[in-house]
Amino acid sequence: MKKRKIIIAIDGFSSTGKSTIAKELANKLGYLYVDTGAMYRAVTLYAMQQDFVGKGYINKEKLIENLQNIDLKFEYNQKLKFSEMYLNGKNVEKEIRSIEVSKLVSMVSAVPEVRKKLVEQQHKMGAEKGLVMDGRDIGTVVFPDAELKLFMTASPEKRAYRRYKELLDRGHEVTFEEILHNVEQRDHLDSTRKDSPLKKAPDAIEFDNSNMGLKEQFERIYHMALLRIEKNA
């Protein structure tokens, strides 16, 4: 019998390794993977380019007025085996991961009109199910009926160290202190904003990976996913 596809929602604090797990899970299950953080980052990059946002300021009116001019698309990269983010036709995968974008993204993602636009797109991507989506509000707001919900956590220091190494590998110039500060600041802003704050859905499974390697994490989560798919058949 053909198995019915499910939606897997992975939420959690920044740099908890959500996207690494989500990507691998989607590849193994033959599901679509959507990194919603990349969408908020791309809108932030656009707002920076237009000078609608910068250190300590945001021009919400201008940003809202121009939302219609932002076209976001994911395109699958066969070589890298994941979908890259395109902003108005341009591949912005590297730029959206910069520390400059990380510093401003929480301000932009707190704007309800921005969230509304992106959540609409996210709903469309999940219409056929067979989806692994990661972010902050996927299990609470975007897909409250997702069949499997995970909430990932780890200590701020562990998360900052992971992000620091990742950025150095990608050729960004950053310090560990700068990243730790950014991680802590985003935790605070993302969990205290009014619209769709980061919080664990009551039916989400909490997963602390401070002391767990990638392989073990993946095996446990893959097992949970198979059980859910089986139950859904």
The contacts of residue 135 (CB under 8 Å, 6+ apart) are: 10, 11, 18, 35, 36, 37, 142
**What DSSP string runs through 64-75?**
HHTGGG--EEEE
- 9: tokens are 């929602």
Question: Of the candidates 72, 87, 93, 137, which one interacts with ligand DC according to CB under 6 A?
Answer: 137
Question: Does residue number 190 form part of the binding site for ligand DC (CB under 6 A)?
Answer: yes
Q: Are 40 and 105 in contact (CB under 8 A)?
A: yes
Tally of residues, the chain:
233
Stretch that binds ligand DC, among 22-30, 45-53, 131-139, 164-172 (CB under 6 A): 131-139
Question: Does residue number 105 form part of the binding site for ligand DC (CB under 6 A)?
Answer: yes
- Strand, helix or coil at 152? strand
Q: How far is the CB of 45 from ligand DC (least distance, A)?
A: 12
Q: Are 194 and 110 in contact (CB under 8 A)?
A: yes
Question: Of the candidates 6, 7, 9, 14, which one interacts with ligand DC according to CB under 6 A?
Answer: 14
Q: How far is the CB of 46 from ligand DC (least distance, A)?
A: 14
- Strand, helix or coil at 212? coil
- 180: tokens are 């730790």
Q: How far is the CB of 173 from ligand DC (least distance, A)?
A: 19
d(CA 3, CA 31): 13
Q: How many residues bind to ligand DC according to rule CB under 6 A?
A: 13
Question: Does residue number 24 form part of the binding site for ligand DC (CB under 6 A)?
Answer: no
- 219: tokens are 């095996």
Mask of contacts with ligand DC, 36-65, x by CB under 6 A? xx--xx------------------------
Strand order in the sheet with 32-35: 32-35, 131-135, 7-12, 148-153, 205-208
Q: Nearer to ligand DC by C-beta: 83 or 106? A: 106
Q: Nearer to ligand DC by C-beta: 29 or 109? A: 109
Q: Nearer to ligand DC by C-beta: 191 or 232? A: 191
Question: Of the candidates 7, 32, 47, 135, which one interacts with ligand DC according to CB under 6 A?
Answer: 135
d(CA 61, CA 66): 9
Question: Of the candidates 33, 48, 106, 209, which one interacts with ligand DC according to CB under 6 A?
Answer: 106
Question: Does residue number 16 form part of the binding site for ligand DC (CB under 6 A)?
Answer: no
Question: Of the candidates 23, 103, 117, 136, which one interacts with ligand DC according to CB under 6 A?
Answer: 136
Binding residues for ligand DC, rule: CB under 6 A, are 14, 36-37, 40-41, 105-106, 109, 135-137, 186, 190
